[in-house]
Amino acid sequence: MKDYWEEPDVKSKQINTRKIILSVIICIFLVAMIVIVALYITNNEFRNWIDVQIFRKEILQDGVTTIELDESETSNIYAFNKYIGILSKNKLKVYSSNGEETTNLEVQITNPLFDSANRFLAIGESNGQKVYVIEDKDVIWESEVEGNIAKVYVNKNGYVAVIMTGMSHKSGVQVFDPEGNSLFISFLSSTMAVDVSISNDNKYLAIAEVDTSGSIIQSNIRIISIETAKTDPSNSVEKNYKSEQNKLLVNIAYQDKNKIVCMYTDTMNVIENDQERVVFDNKDKKIIAQSIELTNHLVSIQEEASGIFSANSVVNIMNMDSNHTQNYTVETSVKELYTKGDIIALNLGTEVEFINTGGWLVKRYIASQEVSNITVSDNIAGIIYRDKVEIINL
């Protein structure tokens, strides 16, 4: 009887030993993962090693897909959605991320102004009348405006606004729906429209206007009800936000919850709940570049001295929902800034770093020559040279 009762105790001990060993291994693995994640977040050198060696985020110039350009032709290159568009001789050639030409569109424009959002691309003739809108890879409508086009804008739902000059009024804004129907024209008699934005719910048009006719610069943001303007443009203005005197308004952008982000030469502000407040002040800072052309974020790059003859560039990325600012530092001066959607492209000379609005590296491109021009969307970027375009998949 004694032997009978002792055998299960041995088995029980063996099972408990296995459980203990397994638990220890799991604990070691979890601790190791926590340490690795912590190092990745806090240690720049470790994060760079992981990005390059493990995630393969660093790419060299000789390892990317290339689109050859005819140097004898003037080519205008623009990244939109997941494509690279090259406009030359009234033809828009659309290339996929692997460099294959997917379509060839007839576009009667020689000096283009581009804008894109979501799957839409708007093209206007600078100082001309023609406007085209492309959805994915097809022209869905074209039209002509009565003034000279100064800027085109398209929101993520396909609504288009065109700033015009050269009319009886000082400037005007014409709005089209996604089918190309003209909804209304808003005329500005004494001010110049410098930028426009349409809310994500398609209900409001914001016009950034500047009056420089007097000794004092006066900026203003006019909010128009699109629904009212369709039938009664003269009574469609819902709000006017008058800026402080001598503040020069440069850009505006609607973001979620009908927030309007405003970029002045000296501050970046937000209009929310009918109140305008400063969210970033340039005073006493060496600002290299700024942008509000991001999804629910803004970015400001500040240069800070790191030595007697050296400087770092600190990229401040502010989330407009939480008001939290994320920093990303590069150990050199940023030459140019490009933004679209969730992507921030930093031209560092012979390198380009693509980061997202969370402050994480997406791709690092290393060239053997100076990078002079970049075009970027949420999904794809083009490094533009005189004789070629190199494609970076993001």
Distance CA 162, CA 376 (A): 22
> Residue with structure tokens 């006719």?
213
State pLDDT tens for residues 42-75.
Answer: 667 767 777 777 777 889 988 899 999 988 888 9
Q: Using an 8 Å Cβ cutoff, are 94 and 101 in contact?
A: yes
Look at residue 1 and tell me whether its pLDDT is greater than 50. Answer: no
User: Percent of the chain, pLDDT > 90?
Assistant: 75
Beta-carbon contacts of 56 under 8 Å, excluding residues fewer than 6 positions away, are: none
Mean pLDDT of the region 25-34? 82
Which residue type, as a one-letter code, is found at position 91? K
More confident residue, 28 or 8: 28
What is the biggest distance separating any 2 CA atoms in the chain, rounded to whole angstroms? Answer: 112
Q: Using an 8 Å Cβ cutoff, are 107 and 92 in contact?
A: yes
Among 168, 167, 140, residue whose Cα is nearest residue 154: 140
Q: Is the pTM of this model over 0.95?
A: no
Among 192, 151, 189, 193, residue whose Cα is nearest residue 168: 189
